[in-house]
Amino acid sequence: MELIAYYRVSTARQGESGLGLEAQRVKVQQLAADRRAVIVAEFVEVESGRKADRPQLAAALAQARQRGAVVAVAKLDRIARDAELVLRLNREAAANGMGGFLFCDLPDVDATTSAGRLILSVMASVAEFEGRRISERTREALAAAKARGVKLGGLRPGTIRENAAAAAKATAAAEALRPLLVPMVAAGYSLRRMSEALAAAGTVTAKGSPLSASTVRLQLQRLGLN
């Protein structure tokens, strides 16, 4: 099997730094190894998931049609945060002779079947919902910052949105730990003991590492538990 790898990052800064890009590449390479497939080309897009105009995606699809290859993507939302666009691309793939799509986060979904298309439709709708929630949280964070008297004029709008989105994401990650941290705080656990307990529970950072004591302290501060 031949794979055409398609990667997407949302900002130029991510594209230049490789932030997020390398993780996508690792996932696609692992998929290729699991399927005993060969990655014959890679395309990198720097664009928002809501925009349908994707030159690199178009190039990836053209080469996939030419070779009868499969387009491999690390995550469904790397194709788009738009359910209608995802399904349209899948229908076009079936009609134009390419091998279809493989998503590393949905390895068992066969989008060439009616059941697979249904699952893909649901997951694409979830990705679209998550994208809209990120925008909503960004606007809420900006409004809250403005209400606190924070001056936003010194930063470019794109930077402000990125910072607000990062803050919202960090807060959401901390909130996910609240049910674990609250009883440990009540029991008087030390930071080190909390770190060990979280590691034993399988809680890790985005990079797959156990949470250090300093990271636990930061999460406690975000949650107002310190």
DSSP class of 155: S
Q: Are residues 114 and 156 in the same domain?
A: no
What CA–CA distance (Å, rounded) separates 91 from 73? Answer: 17
> Could you list the residue range(s) of the whole structural domain that residue 112 is in?
2-125
Task: Provide the 3-class DSSP secondary structure of residue 33.
Answer: helix
What pTM was estimated for this model as a whole? Answer: 0.52
Q: Are residues 12 and 111 in the same domain?
A: yes
Share of the chain residues as helix, strand and coil, in percent rounded to the nearest 5:
60, 10, 30
**159/214: higher pLDDT:** 214
Phi and psi torsions of 52, nearest 5°? -85, -20
pLDDT > 90? residue 201: no
Annotate 171-200 with three-state secondary structure: HHHHHHHHHHHHHHHHCCCCHHHHHHHHHH
Per-residue pLDDT band at 40 (split at 50, 70, 90):
very high
DSSP class of 210: B
* Residues involved in catalysis: 10
Domain count, the chain: 2
Q: Are residues 181 and 120 in the same domain?
A: no
Per-residue pLDDT band at 36 (split at 50, 70, 90):
very high
Q: What is the mean pLDDT of residues 190-194?
A: 87
Q: Is residue 74 part of a domain?
A: yes
pLDDT the model gives residue 177: 79
pLDDT > 60? residue 30: yes
Q: Are residues 83 and 179 in the same domain?
A: no
Q: Are residues 106 and 20 in the same domain?
A: yes
Q: Is residue 137 part of a domain?
A: no
pLDDT digits (tens, 9 = 90+) for 55-82: 888 898 889 888 888 889 888 778 766 6
